[in-house]
Amino acid sequence: MKVRDIHSVYFIGIGGIGMSALARYFLYIGKEVAGYDKTATPLTGELENLGIAVHYEDSVVHISEEFTKAGSTLVVYTPAVPNTHSELCYFRGNGFEVKKRSEVLGLITKDTFCFAVAGTHGKTTTSCILAHLLKEVDSSFTAFLGGISEDFNSNFVFEGNTYSVVEADEFDRSFLQLSPNVACVTSMDADHLDIYGTVSDLIGAFEEFAKKLGATGKLLVKKGLPLQGITYGIEDGADYCVKNIRIQKGVYLFDIHTPSGTLQEVMFQKPGRHNLLNALAAFAMAVEAGFPAEPLARGLQSFKGVQRRFSYQIKEKDFVFIDDYAHHPAEIEAVYDAVSEMHPNLFMTVVFQPHLFSRTKDFVDGFATSLAKFDKIFLLDIYPAREKPIPGVTSDWLLKKIDNPNKKLVEKAGLLMEIQNDRPDVLITLGAGDIGLEVPKIKKALAYAS
**Can you spell out the DSSP letters for 214-243?**
TTT-EEEEETTSSS-SEEEEESS--SEEEE
Q: Which of 80, 104, 116 is nearest to 206 (CA)?
A: 116
Mean pLDDT is highest, among 169-178, 191-200, 421-430, for 421-430
Residue-level pLDDT at 318 = 86
DSSP 306: B
* CA atoms of 345 and 342, how far apart (whole Å): 10
Average pLDDT on 275-289 reads 98
d(C-alpha 176, C-alpha 144), whole Å: 16
Is the predicted pLDDT of residue 449 greater than 50, yes or no? no
Predicted confidence band at 190 (pLDDT cuts at 50, 70, 90)? low
Instruction: Indicate whether 192 pLDDT > 60.
Output: no
Rounded mean pLDDT of 353-381?
Answer: 96
Averaged pLDDT score across all residues of the chain: 93
β-pairing, 240-248 vs 230-234, is: parallel
> Which tens digit of pLDDT belongs to each residue from 313-328?
999 888 999 999 999 9
User: What domains does the chain contain, in order, with CATH numbers?
Assistant: 3-98 (3.40.50.720), 110-301 (3.40.1190.10), 311-449 (3.90.190.20)
DSSP reduced 3-state for 378: strand
Across the range 429-447, mean pLDDT stands at 91
C-alpha neighbours within 13 Å on the C-beta side of residue 142: 19
Element of type H or E holding 246 = strand 240-248
pLDDT of residue 448: 55
In sequence order, the 6+-apart residues with CB closer than 8 A to the CB of 24 are 47, 50, 154, 155, 156
The pLDDT score that the predictor gives to residue 1 is 63
Separation of alpha carbons 354 and 436, rounded Å: 13
Evaluate whether 102 touches 175 at the Cβ level (below 8 Å).
Answer: yes
Average pLDDT of the segment spanning 19-30: 96
Lowest mean per-residue pLDDT among 2-16, 30-44, 394-408? 2-16
Helix (H) or strand (E) holding 121: none
pLDDT tens per residue across span 325-348: 999 999 999 999 999 999 999 999
- Which letter, b or e, does each residue of 355-381 get, where b requires 16 or more Cβ atoms within 10 Å of its Cβ? bbbbbbbbbbebbbbbbebbebbbbbe
User: Residues 270, 254: contact at Cβ < 8 Å?
Assistant: no
Does the CA dihedral 98-100-105-107 come out positive or negative? negative
Q: What is the rounded CA–CA span in Å between residue 179 and residue 108?
A: 10
Q: What is the dihedral of CA 152, 153, 157, 159, to 10 degrees?
A: -40
CA nearest neighbour of 120 among 193, 220, 218: 193
Q: Which of 20-34, 41-55, 190-204 has the lowest mean pLDDT?
A: 190-204
- Stretch 176-200: mean pLDDT, rounded? 81
Write down the pLDDT at residue 80.
81
The pTM for the full model equals 0.90
Residue 367: C-alpha distances to residues 141, 171, 327, 361, 385 (Å): 38, 20, 9, 10, 18
How far is it, in rounded angstroms, from Cα 54 to Cα 41?
A: 11
Per-residue pLDDT, averaged over 153-167, amounts to: 96
Q: Is 76 exposed, middle or buried (0-12, 13-18, 19+ CB in 10 A)?
A: buried
Instruction: Tell me what the mean pLDDT of segment 251-260 comes to.
Output: 96
pLDDT digits (tens, 9 = 90+) for 374-403: 999 999 999 998 789 999 999 999 999 999
Question: What strand order describes the sheet that includes 261-268?
Answer: 154-158, 141-149, 163-168, 113-118, 182-185, 218-222, 230-234, 240-248, 251-258, 261-268
Looking at residue 111, the DSSP 8-state letter turns out to be T
353 pLDDT band, cuts 50/70/90, is: very high
- pLDDT tens-digit series, residues 220-234: 999 999 999 999 999
| d(C-alpha 156, C-alpha 176), whole Å | 21
CA–CA dist 277, 269 (Å, integer) = 13
Q: Tens of pLDDT along 64-91?
A: 999 999 989 999 999 888 899 999 999 9
Residue 201 has pLDDT above 90, yes or no: no
State CA 378 to chain mean position distance: 23
Q: Cβ contacts of residue 130 below 8 Å, gap of 6+?
A: 115, 117, 143, 165, 282, 285, 286
Q: Provide the percentage of residues in the chain whose pLDDT is more than 70.
A: 97
Q: Phi and psi (nearest 5°) for 127? A: -70, -35
Would you state the pLDDT for residue 386?
78
What confidence tens digit (pLDDT) does each residue in 105-125 have?
999 999 899 999 999 889 999
More confident residue, 406 or 450: 406
Task: Report the distance separating Cα 331 and Cα 401, nearest Å.
Answer: 19
Half-sphere CA count of 180, side-chain side, radius 13 A: 28
Q: What pLDDT is recorded for position 232?
A: 98
Q: Which SS3 state, helix, strand or coil, does residue 9 take?
A: strand
Strand-strand pairing, 113-118 and 163-168? parallel
> 178 and 115 in contact (C-beta within 8 Å)?
no
CB 384 within 8 A of CB 357: yes
